[in-house]
Amino acid sequence: GAGVSQSPSNKVTEKGKDVELRCDPISGHTALYWYRQSLGQGLEFLIYFQGNSAPDKSGLPSDRFSAERTGGSVSTLTIQRTQQEDSAVYLCASSSRQGYGYTFGSGTRLTVV
Amino acid sequence: KQEVTQIPAALSVPEGENLVLNCSFTDSAIYNLQWFRQDPGKGLTSLLLIQSSQREQTSGRLNASLDKSSGRSTLYIAASQPGDSATYLCAVFHTGNQFYFGTGTSLTVIP
């Protein structure tokens, strides 16, 4: 596609439920990142995928968070047993090559009530 | 760990004024630096990308410079317009697998 597509754009969920956030990167982009932005805070790195290499999961805040990337394209970020502190905007970005400029999606605004 | 600082945190200017946003980083061993804008409730829009071997990039009324040795970048906006109102973020790609973001400058251009 022309840009990075994220879905849903908004998600309201009850505390304790699981959620899945989807990112469809630009076709051919091998690098994919997930970041989150809490209200009034900076961007927090979550996870990085590069081609078929093992992902860098060093930014995932707890074992309730996981992500996968199928076929080197679409990525899904899963949050299990959501907590109110998980409320944030989750942003996905992709790049044709590590370190070569990044294109961000519009984000998914997650609200845990 | 790379730390990125943006000054000022907020800026309000009258329409038509030229302005400069500042970004500083602690480790000069970077691959590139990218400036983004973020509108309220929206994602990030890329403005300019400067590779480590470059000193500046220009796009329309925007000009970004990079001084690796001093750990600084500036974003110059000429003839500001109300539509320029947004939060401006700089991001530095360093060694490793992530890029480091500054906390942003919130710009308001008053008509």
A contact test, residue of B42, B88, B98, B101 with most A CBs within 10 A = B98
For residue range B76-88, list pLDDT tens digits in order: 999 999 999 999 9
Per-position b or e across B51-88, b if 16+ CB within 10 A of its CB: beeeeebeeeebbbbbebeebbbbbebeebeeebbbbb
- pLDDT, position B42: 83
Q: Bin B28: left if φ > 0, else alpha if -120 < ψ < 50, else beta.
A: alpha
Give the residue from chain B lying closest to A9, CA to CA: B42
Q: Which residue has the higher pLDDT, A23 or A97?
A: A23
| Chain A residue whose CA is closest to B105 | A42
Q: Which residues of B touch A (CB under 8 A)?
A: 31-32, 34, 36, 41-46, 49, 89, 91, 93, 97-99, 101-104
Give yes or no for residue A99 having a pLDDT over 70: no
Q: How confident is the model over B25-48, as a mean pLDDT?
A: 91
The rounded percent of chain B whose pLDDT value lies above 90 is 78
**Tokens encoding B79:** 């003839």
